[in-house]
Amino acid sequence: MFDPKQYRRIIRASAWYDLLATIGFATPWSFAAVHAGLLWLTQKWQLAGIFPAFAPAHVLMANLLGSVVTIWALLRIRDPQLQFGRYDAAARFLFAVWQIYAVAHGASVIILAFTAMEIMFGILQSMPVRAAVADEGKSA
């Protein structure tokens, strides 16, 4: 069980991870660099699965994801509310399911590195949080 202050730190940490991991997806130009880097790693490590070139519609979807997740991350960095952590946990579990689905259907296993982070932060943000005590530390 986390106290509220610890939980807010977890929310912020997950948000910083999201910002760093997805801001590169937010524009066509930065996505091209991210995609090239992931493709290089996939080939260098000879990872199983396909890591194809992206058509313009695929790039658009990546940019939409990157834009939304970047804004969502900034919100959680600035205002790490418990309810935001709970919603984020649900989103992470959904992301993890679709990432596993993609890998099971031939996508590169490099995706599983992101999946591990989704599951870890999803579990942490699903943990119980002790109720804040308004008079904590005050004498009677």
In this structure, is residue 140 part of a structural domain? Answer: no
What is the domain count for the chain? 1
| HEC per residue, the chain | CECHHHHHHHHHHHHHHHHHHHHHHCCHHHHHHHHHHHHHHHHHCCCCCECCCCCHHHHHHHHHHHHHHHHHHHHHHHCCCHHHHHHHHHHHHHHHHHHHHHHHCCECCCHHHHHHHHHHHHHHHHCCECCCCCCCCCCC
Q: What is the extent of the structural domain holding 11? A: 4-126
In this structure, is residue 139 part of a structural domain? Answer: no
Position 131 scores a pLDDT of 85
Position 23 scores a pLDDT of 96
In this structure, is residue 64 part of a structural domain? Answer: yes
pLDDT tens-digit map of 108-135: 999 999 999 999 999 999 999 998 765 4
In this structure, is residue 39 part of a structural domain? Answer: yes
In this structure, is residue 57 part of a structural domain? Answer: yes
In this structure, is residue 109 part of a structural domain? Answer: yes
In this structure, is residue 105 part of a structural domain? Answer: yes
